[in-house]
Amino acid sequence: MSAVTAVPTALQVPRRPSRVVPTAVAVIVGAVVLAAAAGLPIPWSDLGSLPGQVAHYLGLMFAAPNWAMLPQALFETWRSISMAWIGAIGCVIVSIPLGMLAARSIGPIWLRLPLRGLFAVSRAVPEVIIALLLLTVTGLTPFTGALALAIAGIGTQAKWVYETVESVQEGASEAVRAAGGNTAEVTRWALWPAVAPTLLSFALYRFEINIRTSAVLGLVGAGGIGSMLANYTNFRQWDTVGMLLIVVVAATMLMDAVSGAIRRRIMRGPRAKAARAQREVRTDVARVS
């Protein structure tokens, strides 16, 4: 029964914890951002006209895209895709053995560390720089682009390789060794079947990444749709630029979807399931023991 009393009983509410630190941090972050913004040579006051400007150009590009140039655009798109594909193959061919050598269970430490250092350096240098460097050797051709993609990707790709190798269960490797196998045989019979699906999946992912990067390389002259885009943008031919953008978006989304679907099928396959199961057993055992 609720007794409605005339005098409110006072609540013993504990003190609220201090919020000084989070507030100070927020203020500092805000100040840094504002300072950065103020320092930029951007006419902030003029930004009001920006949406109008952008809308104007969007109209020029997409109101009536120049479909007459579509055949050439598709030709150049295939060029970019080829760049991406060959670059991916080159990258994967080099990074799988190198990555395996850099894995803990395979390569000796005097080999692992320098290799990993090499990969870190490769990761740090943007593809564009590599492409520019290669220009002098192989010229302004899509082949340069493919080479640049291959070389630039080695760092990340090899890292994925050795991470995958290291996460796979060691039981099978032990069994082969116990039967007298050397490292090469362990790799072929125990390691490879377990990591193959994941590596294949990463290879396809490299292809997906390369497709985007190939357009970028085209902008600096390696050919493909990026070059076409750069040219027509420089000539301010907005209706063609609009058409090219549509082609780029459509091609990228299509390739992403197809590649993504294939990757999912690979990872769902029997070997991949076994590899996943192995990893799960390993973590279970690790948790218990």
Partner 1 sequence: MTSSLTVPPKPRSRVRTALIVAAFAAFTAATCIPAIGGIELDLGAIVRNWSNGSGLLAQFLQPDFAFLPRTIGPMLETLQMAVVGAALAAVVSVPLTLWAAAPTNPNAPTRVLVRTVINVVRSVPDLVYATVLVAMVGVGALPGLITLFLFDLGIIVKLVSEAIDATDLPIIEAGRAAGGTQTQINRRGVLPQTWPLFANQWLYTLELNVRISAILGIVGAGGIGRLLDERRAFYAYDDVAVIVLEILVVVVLIEIFSNLLRRRLV
Partner 2 sequence: MRIDPLHAEVGPSPASASWSIRLDDVSVTYPNGTRALSGVSLDIAAGEMVSIVGLSGSGKSTLIRTINGLVPASSGTVTVGPHTVTGMRGRALRELRGRIGMIFQGFNLADRADVYRNVLVGSFARTPTWRTLLGVTTAQDRELALRSLDAVGMLEKVWNRAGHLSGGQKQRVAIARALTQQPSVMLADEPVASLDPPTAHAVMHDLRRVNRDEQLTVLVNIHLMDLARQYTTRMIGLRAGEVVYDGPAAAAADHDFEQIYGRPIQPRDVLGA
Q: Which one of residues 8, 22, 39, 71 is an interface residue with partner 2 (CB under 8 A)?
A: 8
The Cα 190–Cα 194 span in angstroms is 7
| Residue nearer to partner 2 on the CB measure, 1 or 109 | 1
9 binds partner 2 (CB under 8 A): yes
Q: Which stretch binds partner 2 (CB under 8 A): 9-17, 40-48, 67-75, 205-213?
A: 9-17
The Cα 106–Cα 187 span in angstroms is 8
| Residue nearer to partner 1 on the CB measure, 126 or 171 | 126
Cα-only R_g, the chain: 28
The Cα 224–Cα 226 span in angstroms is 5
Q: Which stretch binds partner 2 (CB under 8 A): 3-11, 44-52, 133-141, 263-271?
A: 3-11
Residues that bind partner 1 (CB under 8 A): 32-33, 36-37, 39-42, 50, 53-54, 57, 74-79, 81-83, 85-86, 89, 124-126, 128-129, 132-134, 136-139, 141-143, 145-146, 212-213, 215-216, 219-220, 223, 226, 229-230, 233-234, 236, 241, 245, 248-249, 252-253, 256
97-131 in b/e form (b: 16+ CB < 10 A) is ebbbbbbeebbeeeebeebbeebeebbeeebbebb
289 binds, among partner 1, partner 2, none (CB under 5 to 8 A by kind): none
Q: How many CB atoms lie within 10 A of CB 285?
A: 11
Nearest to 103 by CA among 51, 150, 163, 179: 163
Task: Give the CA distances from residue 173 to residues 33, 188, 200, 279, 283, in Å, rounded to whole numbers and listed in that order.
Answer: 52, 10, 21, 14, 17
18 binds partner 2 (CB under 8 A): no
Q: Which two tokens stand for residue 63?
A: 């109101």
5 binds, among partner 1, partner 2, none (CB under 5 to 8 A by kind): partner 2
The residues of the shown chain that bind partner 2, judged by CB under 8 A, are 1-6, 8-9, 11-17
